[in-house]
Amino acid sequence: MNYLYGYLAVGVIYGLSVWIMHKLRPSKNELNDTITAALDKAKEGQPFSFLEDILVPFLAILIIVTAWPVLIVMHIRDKRRFERRLDDDGEEQFTVTAEDVLEQLTIQEIEQREMVMDPLHSVPDLPFGHLNPVWVKFKQSLNEQDAIYSFTKIWQPPLSLYPEEVSGYVCVRDEQPEHFILTKVVELRLN
Amino acid sequence: MTAQISEGLLLEGEQVPMMATPLGQYFELGGEKPEFQATCSALWRGYRGSWEIIDDRLYLVGLQGNGLGGRTITQKDLFPDYPERAFAHWYSGTIRIPRGKLLEYVHAGFGSQYEQDLTLTLDRGVVVSKQVIHNGTAPEGATEGYSPAAMTVFQQGDAGGKQE
């Protein structure tokens, strides 16, 4: 019997610690305010409900107290899954092949065609606008013998429901497309 | 799966929910991405952008993001020289703006269906076409306005998040 009380006590401590950690969260944060507003909106105009206001919280507490080891395992699993999502080297990577290349261009031609204009002057007056640092890095990676080609390719990202049309410029070294810079990615939704 | 908090859009003087994340494309094209932290399951991307369309051009006009250790990430962190307005020339694709009452609630992504969708198609940050799609008529008493119905809030500074 003592073991059972001990087990349930751990569940209560686990539930309380999660609740306290939540309360200790910094609250002076605009994004948290947005999230709270979304929660309030979700509750807005909802009349008192035995199911949502009594039964669900009661069951939630019951599950936490009795099934806390399962929740901890789920939490660790979710955390690992989330971290894998952030840094997943195993998934298929986008590449450019010889079939995808379109037209050879000089740096000057590319910089001319990639100038971004805005009447409100909300973009740097540089090739590729806000993405100019990406272009600068790409140029720095080029050797004297390299050629630059434009490319367009349809590909299916591993985690997306829809294919994408991807355009950009690729460095062709020894007749082989190598690293590239992307200029446009359009999700091709089936309407 | 949880319905996601939308981006905000000021369109013709009206604040509307925007079912698209143009900053995702900015990061995909190589734009520097801060380490956003998800603080709740309704905002896996860790930020909410505010946008405006002026003369058919899309601008980022605000950003609220959570960084490591609860640090606030703003537009200034992404566009130091354009902290108030940045032309979204990198974005090509569609933006869905739901209108009217809720037809079907979908607790995933931006999946919920409303009576109407205003769909804007953009090419390099410029609106090239607009389309209104009528999805149906909601029953009497259906809710109006987009919002996720439930979410899990995580602890601050925990990438994986703890459920409560």
**Contact residues, chain B, for A12 at CB < 8 Å:** none
Q: Map residue A44 onto helix, strand or coil.
A: coil
In the predicted structure, residue A31 carries a pLDDT above the cut 90: no
> What's the ipTM?
0.84
Chain B residue at shortest CA distance from A183: B29
A120: Cα separation from own chain's centroid: 29
Chain A residue at shortest CA distance from B141: A45
- Comparing C-alpha atoms, which of B163, B143, B159 is closest to residue B68? B159
Determine contact: B75 vs chain A, CB below 8 A.
no
Per-residue DSSP letters for A108-148?
HHHHHHTB---TT--S-SSBTGGGHHHHHHHHHT--TT-EE
The reply to whether residue B42 touches residue A38, judged by beta carbons under 8 angstroms, is yes
The CA–CA distances, whole Å, from A169 to A15, A139, A142, B122 equal 53, 11, 12, 21
Contact between B48 and A31 (Cβ < 8 Å): yes
Residues of chain B with pLDDT below 50 are 157-164
Instruction: For the full predicted model, state whether its pTM sits above 0.80.
Output: no
Supply B143's token pair.
């809710």
In the predicted structure, residue A38 carries a pLDDT above the cut 80: no
Q: What is the pLDDT of residue A18?
A: 78
Contact between B97 and B117 (Cβ < 8 Å): yes
Chain B residue at shortest CA distance from A78: B160
- Residue B42 burial (10 A CB sphere; 0-12, 13-18, 19+): buried
Determine contact: B116 vs chain A, CB below 8 A.
no
Determine contact: B50 vs chain A, CB below 8 A.
no
